Amino acid sequence: MTAPHPALGGGPIYLDYNATTPVDPRVAEAAFPYLGAWFGNPSSAHAYASEPKQALDRARGQVAALIGADPGEIVFTGSGSEADNLAIRGAVLAARTPRPHIVTQTTEHPAVLETCRALERLHGVDVTYLPVDHDGRVDPDTLAAALTEHTVLVSVMAANNETGALQPITELARITRAHGALFHCDAAQAIGKIRMNVAELDVDLLTVVGHKMYAPKGIAALYIRTGTALEPLVYGGGQEHGLRAGTENVALAVALGTAAQLAADELAADGDQRITELRDRLHTQLAQALPGRVRLNGPAQGRLPNTLNISITGTRGHELLAAIPQIAASTGSACHSGEQTASPVLRAMGLNEQRGLSALRLSLGRWTTPAEVDQATQLIAAASPTFST
């Protein structure tokens, strides 16, 4: 594990890594020169452009190496939402099909779901939203049955941000490609936590997000398989292979590249095993401290190594976390007109409202320690009997 993070010292125990990660100091250090001395526009033809252009190329190569891609297949974007929009909207508009059809699934991130809904509303696109099973997974047979002669794209995330459930991406992608459609995978939560290779996954498009892997917010990337046609989302000067105009943010691209290199190093050193052990330690201790009251939401196997989503009988997640300011975590529930509602993800998995409202998402990361896991267990267990549904 790396040295203690300066932003986390003395604050609440941070168990919300799936929401955002602290910026790794090594990432910030690598990016800083491109905010100052190396400020040049990489598209210029003079000396000030040389180092920024080389840095941009290096960063593209680092991101590509993490996922087994070619550097020329990486396009930098300003966010994961933008990358998802470029993939989905770009593929549909480039297809030039009179009545295109998209397939996605009900527990996708809003960046995917809202893009699909906008295409339905604005462009007359047909969209099929596949159901998920109790573990939050798509059945490949259900996908195969949903494909039509008009299907141009399937978009299914690699890992769910709330439960950590991993989708059978390779099987889904192969079914899709055999049908002649493109396959997009939002891998925002998975990249850097598990090993991912675009050739093995057999995907055409894949989203990588910086602030989920210890880079700053405001930088992401889209892998685009060579030969895949997309309509640009931003028109202009032709940067990023003509798919995303605008002078490149070199500092943030360097940050993402550095984060990608660090992620590769962490995974090579079995960093995922350390996180898995801490996650399971937290789960086991909570189950022992609250016997019969802790229920796992999502699959026991086949999920992200850092993610623990549980419901604690007799509690409401938002009230429980409000009573423990010493812990920073999430619930997945939402507040509408003063009323809490269960997470749409958990509802799609068939969980009832009561169980959904009692859910906690505890997500661990690079700076989580055994001592923090033990303290979090004690705090949650001590606060849990306070509430009743």
Catalogue the active-site residues: 335
Three-class SS string for the chain? CCCCCCCCCCCCEECECCCCCCCCHHHHHHHHHHHCCCCCCCCCCCHHHHHHHHHHHHHHHHHHHHHCCCHHHEEEECCHHHHHHHHHHHHHHHHCCCCCEEEEECCCCHHHHHHHHHHHHHHCCEEEEECCCCCCCCCHHHHHHHCCCCEEEEECCCECCCCCEECCHHHHHHHHHHCCCEEEEECCCCECCECCCHHHHCCCEEEEEHHHCCCCCCCEEEEECCCCCCCCCECCCCCHHHCECCCCCHHHHHHHHHHHHHHHHHHHCCHHHHHHHHHHHHHHHHHHHCCCCEEECCCCCCECCCEEEEEECCCCHHHHHHCCCCEECECCCEEECCEEECCHHHHHCCCCHHHHHCEEEEECCCCCCHHHHHHHHHHHHHHHHHCCC
Residue 164 tokens read as 């950590």
Count of C-beta atoms within a 10 Å radius of residue 214: 30
Residues in contact with 43: Cβ distance below 8 Å, sequence separation at least 6, in sequence order:
49, 53, 237, 239, 247, 248
Beta bridge partners of 295: 311
Does residue 326 contact residue 371 with C-beta atoms inside 8 Å?
A: no
Distance CA 146, CA 130 (A): 8
Q: Comparing C-alpha atoms, which of 170, 185, 124 is closest to residue 150?
A: 124
| Residue in the block written with tokens 């892998």 | 223
